[in-house]
Amino acid sequence: MRSLKNHISLIIPLFAILFTVEFYLLIDKIIKNYEKYLSKDYSIVVVAKEPLKLENLRQKIEDVIKLKEVDSSLVLGRLKQTGIDLDPDQLKSYLPRFYKLYLSSFPSTQRLQSLKEELLQIEGIQRVETFTKTHEKIYKFLIFLNNISKFFLAIILVTGLMLVFKQIEIWNLEHSERMYIMALFGAPFWMRIAVLLKLSIIDTLISTLLVYLIYLYLLNSNYLKELLGVEDLVAPRQIASDGLWLFGLGLFISIFTVIVVSLREPKNR
Amino acid sequence: MAKKVIVAKDLVLSYKKNVPIIKNSTFSITSGSFVFITGASGSGKSTLLRSFYGELRPRSGSLHVGGILLNDIKPSKLSFLRKYLGIIFQDYKLIKEWNVKKNVMLPLLIAGYSKDVCEAQTKRLLKHVRLEGKEEYYPVELSGGEQQRVAMARALAHNPVIILADEPTGNLDDYSSRVIWGLLEGANEQLGSTVVVVTHSIPKDLNVPYRHLHIENGVVYEIS
Ligand SMILES: Nc1ncnc2c1ncn2[C@@H]1O[C@H](COP(=O)(O)OP(=O)(O)O)[C@@H](O)[C@H]1O
Ligand SMILES: [Mg+2]
């Protein structure tokens, strides 16, 4: 029973550290994936007197990647329905040209605003209309989460490390007699701390698995997908590699602590 | 002339700075000898033995064990030296989380012997100390005499060059005492180990020649 409590005392802070690190990494990944998704979810319509060329535009605004002319016959067709009878070909030459413009990444509201101004500077452009859709709010919320997760990461890292350190000190004390006797028979350092290393490796493995499973569950749950309105937030492959990475980080923390705590032992060994 | 394995010159030992337990003592122990250290309770016998395995450093003077100066010995060198020692402690110092077999095996594991050798040697030793069948017992499940015999087997497991025993038969039953004296004699006679035994009374029926050091008022005297 006592040993179970001992394990939990190490598993909890390790879990907290790894959970927060993964939270941070995951939000980052979700944001990147989300940006890709959102990049198809805005529109910029440019009205110009003269034909526009992508190359010319790109000289002034680098992140434009595509320019698509909106067929004006659609507009004319609608005019016709209202009963106004005009010669379409003649009219076409009077009408301005409509273009849809695509950017390399999802623009923020500020970026859209500045883009609008830059576009209007260009000769021949008469009007610019921009629309972003509702997803912008969620996007902003993700960015917000990303920022506070940095803050939590810092706090949890500090308190978590302190708790890990404390727990390993307790273990060290519990096993100090055994380690002392081993030293009396000339056991090398690594052999004396082997028992502590074994315990901490087991607990790191448990913490990593817990974190991994919880995130796997969250990412597959419908709740998150519905909230963000996106299928496949993060590819499972991506968290699998995170799992390994987290295990490595956990091992580093616990092994490093074991070594530091054990080296601080009294000098008579 | 036989090699000296323990050499003390003007040795002073103390726990607190100005309270010497052993004062300016000069003596030596030759390789292959059987030595008794006697003295009243609290005279510093355990303290002296502790200095031989490097747990207590000389306050002044010098102390060589196996040709190595212990005054400022580095941990790695001390570990090296201890592999050649077999220590029997007054309070046994068995590892309570380990069973009898693993306790006896400790010096063999440290020496890095293969599993087969460890197993065979441990089995042989447990037979010597008459503990066959108790391999899987834990220290708490044994009597004082049995624990001391486990400690004995552990101290002899790796055929140490020097055996240091602190009151190995302190308050043991006759049977355990006879087993232990027999093993110490055997190690000295057959393996040529140097044996240093702290005791309050020298057994009468010993079959090997021995020397006798006595501590009186903190000074180590060579009686014989
Ligand atoms: N760890 C220690 N710290 C301080 N004093 C000690 C320590 N161990 C022993 N002493 C003191 O050293 C003296 C000799 O002790 P010890 O060597 O154990 O005697 P012996 O083994 O001859 O009975 C005693 O007065 C004891 O109180
Ligand atoms: Mg004593």
Do A185 and B55 count as a contact with CB atoms less than 8 A apart? no
Dist. CA B135–CA B189, nearest whole Å: 27
Of B137, B159, B181, which one is at a domain's C-terminal end?
A: B159
Higher pLDDT, A117 or A92: A117
Q: Is the pLDDT of residue A266 over 60?
A: no
The mean-pLDDT minimum among A156-165, A221-230, B32-41 falls in A221-230
Q: Are residue B80 and residue B167 in the same domain, yes or no?
A: yes
Name the residue facing B95 among A181, A188, A191 (closest C-beta).
A181
Q: Are residue B173 and residue B152 in the same domain, yes or no?
A: no
Task: Please give, rounded to a whole number of angstroms, the shortest distance from the CA of A229 to a CA of chain B.
Answer: 56
Nearest ligand to the CA atom of B90: 2
Q: Which residue of A has its CA nearest to B50?
A: A184
Q: Are residue B153 and residue B175 in the same domain, yes or no?
A: no
Contact residues of ligand 1, CB 6 A cut-off: B 15, 21, 39, 41-47
Which residue in this structure is represented by tokens 């997908």? A225
The CATH number of residue B175's host domain is 3.40.50.300
CB interface of A with B, residues 169-208, below 8 Å: 177-178, 181-188, 191
Domain count, chain B: 2
- Whether the Cβ atoms of residue A165 and residue A261 lie closer than 8 Å to each other: yes
DSSP A145-185: HHHHHHHHHHHHHHHHHHHHHHHHHHHHHHTHHHHHHHHHT
Q: Distances from the Cα of A227 to the Cαs of A69, A147, A219, B33, in angstroms?
A: 34, 19, 12, 84
Q: Distances from the Cα of A97 to the Cαs of A12, A130, B115, in angstroms?
A: 63, 16, 87
Dist. CA B84–CA A31, nearest whole Å: 63
Q: Are residue B135 and residue B152 in the same domain, yes or no?
A: yes
Q: Ligand 1, residues B11, B14, B15: which to mutate, most atoms within 8 A of Cβ?
A: B15
Q: What ranges do the domains of chain A cover?
A: 2-37+137-263, 42-132
Q: Are residue B71 and residue B170 in the same domain, yes or no?
A: yes
Q: Classify strands B19-30 and B4-16 as parallel, antiparallel or unpaired.
A: antiparallel
Q: What is the pLDDT along chain B (224 residues), one digit of tens a residue?
A: 679 999 999 999 999 989 999 999 999 999 999 999 999 999 999 999 999 999 999 999 999 999 999 999 999 999 999 999 999 999 999 999 999 999 999 999 999 999 999 999 999 999 999 999 999 999 999 999 999 999 999 999 999 999 999 999 987 888 889 989 999 999 999 999 999 999 988 998 888 999 999 999 999 999 98
ipTM: 0.94
Helices B115-128 and B144-156: angle between axes, nearest 10 degrees: 130
Mutate to test the interface with A, among B106, B109, B156, B166 (most CBs of A within 10 A): B106
Dist. CA A171–CA A5, nearest whole Å: 12
Token pair belonging to A194? 């082997």
DSSP A181-211: HHHHTT--HHHHSHHHHHHHHHHHHHHHHHH
A90 SS3 class: helix
- DSSP conformational letter for B142: S
B201 SS3 class: coil
Of B159, B184, B209, which one is at a domain's C-terminal end?
A: B159
- Whether the Cβ atoms of residue A203 and residue A49 lie closer than 8 Å to each other: no
Report percent pLDDT > 70 for chain A. Answer: 81
At B102, give phi and psi (nearest 5°): -70, -35
Q: Are residue B116 and residue B167 in the same domain, yes or no?
A: no
**pTM of the predicted structure, to 2 decimals:** 0.78
Token pair belonging to B106? 């400790």
Domain that holds residue B46: 1-84+162-224
B217 SS3 class: coil
Do B79 and A187 count as a contact with CB atoms less than 8 A apart? yes
Q: Distances from the Cα of A202 to the Cαs of A208, A212, A254, B30, B174, in angstroms?
A: 10, 15, 10, 49, 47
- DSSP conformational letter for A40: T
Q: Are residue B43 and residue B71 in the same domain, yes or no?
A: yes
Q: Are residue B149 and residue B102 in the same domain, yes or no?
A: yes
Q: Are residue B3 and residue B97 in the same domain, yes or no?
A: no
CATH superfamily, region A42-132: ACT domain (3.30.70.260)
Of B139, B159, B179, which one is at a domain's C-terminal end?
A: B159
Q: Are residue B69 and residue B46 in the same domain, yes or no?
A: yes
Q: Are residue B129 and residue B199 in the same domain, yes or no?
A: no
Q: Are residue B103 and residue B143 in the same domain, yes or no?
A: yes
Which residue in this structure is represented by tokens 């320019």? A67
Q: Which atom of ligand 1 is nearest to the CA of B43?
A: 22
Token pair belonging to A129? 């209309």
Nearest in space to A43 (alpha carbons), one of A98, A124, A121: A98
Can you tell me the mean pLDDT for A135-141?
Answer: 73
Nearest in space to B209 (alpha carbons), one of B34, B81, B75, B92: B34
- DSSP conformational letter for B141: G
Token pair belonging to A29? 């990944």
